[in-house]
């Protein structure tokens, strides 16, 4: 399967792409990348390793000229969350890490049909209502209608809560057709998601462990470089993981094996953490263990990105298989 954008795909300019959680979700929704922008070296290596055909810019979003991508179907990105994170100081627009202004600049320059930006649930709090309205006002001035929506990733088959606050904006005639995706049924449990990698190397206790790990996980954390080493978060999160039979004090180098005792409380490997985030099993990561875990912990779960991407594609009236035909019709009637 080729992953390079072609004329039969919707196109996306993605900023703050990270290790590709949103990227691969949008790909599954039918979007081909015109450009993926990411500042972290290991994350850009991850993108290039998995999708060598993609054009990946390693650098600051501020370096990108949106005019070069005028007419792209979608501008998307997971803009940095520290300005709005509960774990941070919640400086909002006063935080130099706030890249919403840069996203709006790219929208102004590229004039996409649609915009999709995701952030943490902290941005949904009452204290940021004026800031949210300022973004809606700016988009309105550019000719876009927009809406915010808070989702839990578990509503789209991801085995963790991971709330995300999503902004979708579209040109007015498209936005009239936009509907937020319907949420799905009960997500799989951690035991169901991780039984295979837990059992793969011969651990006799894997089946019993999986039966006991009969709930979804707390939010996978650890994406910040200020977080320290690779572990599953603060005490509260570690306690929740322990209730699922997982030692959250660190990340394991290897899965349990035939020599592991039956009642062992395992740690997750990076492979397992990626599965909990909803990455495809064949998605590989570049870098050392802590860097890889940070990439995983920062990610927007692919199933959520795919669901919202599909709703955007539907509102645009085209799919990955139908854009060429749609363009042909437009040329014929034009």
Strands of the sheet containing 31-38, edge to edge, are 56-58, 31-38, 10-15, 74-77, 114-119, 163-171, 144-152
In angstroms, the CA 196 to CA 217 distance is: 17
- DSSP code of residue 76: E
Q: 28 by DSSP, 3-state: which?
A: helix
Q: Is 81 a catalytic residue?
A: yes
In angstroms, the CA 88 to CA 92 distance is: 10
Structure tokens at 28: 């599954």
Instruction: Kindly name the residue from 81, 120, 315, 316 that is annotated as catalytic.
Output: 81
Judged by phi (left if over 0) then psi (alpha if -120 to 50, else beta), residue 143 lies in: left
Count of Cβ atoms closer than 10 Å to residue 281 Cβ: 9
- DSSP code of residue 58: E
Could you tell me where the beta strands, DSSP code E, fall in 68-200?
74-77, 114-119, 144-152, 163-171
| Burial status of residue 100 (CB atoms within 10 A of its CB: 0-12, 13-18, 19 or more) | buried
Q: 15 by DSSP, 3-state: which?
A: strand
Indicate which residues carry an active-site annotation. Answer: 81
């Amino acid at each position: 399967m080729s992953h390079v954008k072609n004329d039969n795909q919707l196109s996306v300019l993605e900023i703050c792409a990270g290790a590709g959680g949103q990227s691969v979700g949008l790909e599954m929704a039918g979007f081909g990348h015109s450009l993926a922008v990411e500042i972290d070296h290991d994350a850009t290596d991850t993108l290039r390793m998995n999708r060598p055909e993609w054009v990946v810019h390693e650098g600051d979003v501020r370096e990108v000229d949106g005019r070069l991508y005028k007419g792209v179907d979608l501008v998307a990105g997971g803009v940095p969350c520290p300005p709005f994170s509960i774990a941070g100081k919640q400086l909002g627009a006063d935080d130099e890490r706030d890249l919403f202004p840069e996203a709006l600049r790219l929208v102004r320059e590229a004039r996409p049909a649609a915009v999709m930006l995701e952030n943490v649930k902290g941005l949904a709090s009452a204290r940021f209502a004026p800031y949210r309205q300022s973004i809606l006002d700016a988009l309105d001035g550019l000719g876009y209608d927009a809406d915010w929506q808070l989702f839990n990733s578990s509503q789209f088959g991801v085995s963790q809560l991971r709330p995300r606050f999503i902004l979708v904006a579209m040109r007015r005639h498209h936005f009239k057709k936009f509907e937020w995706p319907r949420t799905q049924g009960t997500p799989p449990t951690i035991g169901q998601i991780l039984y295979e990698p837990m059992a793969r190397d011969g651990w006799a206790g894997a089946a019993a462990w999986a039966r006991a790990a009969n709930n979804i996980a707390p939010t996978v954390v650890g994406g910040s470089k200020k977080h320290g080493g690779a572990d599953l978060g603060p005490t509260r999160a570690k306690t929740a993981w322990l209730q699922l039979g997982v030692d959250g004090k660190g990340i394991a180098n290897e899965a349990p094996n035939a020599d592991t005792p039956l009642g062992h409380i395992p740690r997750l490997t990076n492979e397992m953490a990626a599965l909990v985030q909803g990455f495809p099993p064949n998605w590989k990561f570049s870098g050392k263990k802590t860097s890889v875990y940070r990439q995983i912990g920062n990610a927007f779960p692919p199933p959520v990105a795919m669901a919202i991407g599909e709703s955007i594609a539907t509102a645009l009236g085209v799919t990955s298989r139908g854009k060429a035909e749609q363009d042909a019709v437009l040329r014929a009637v034009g």
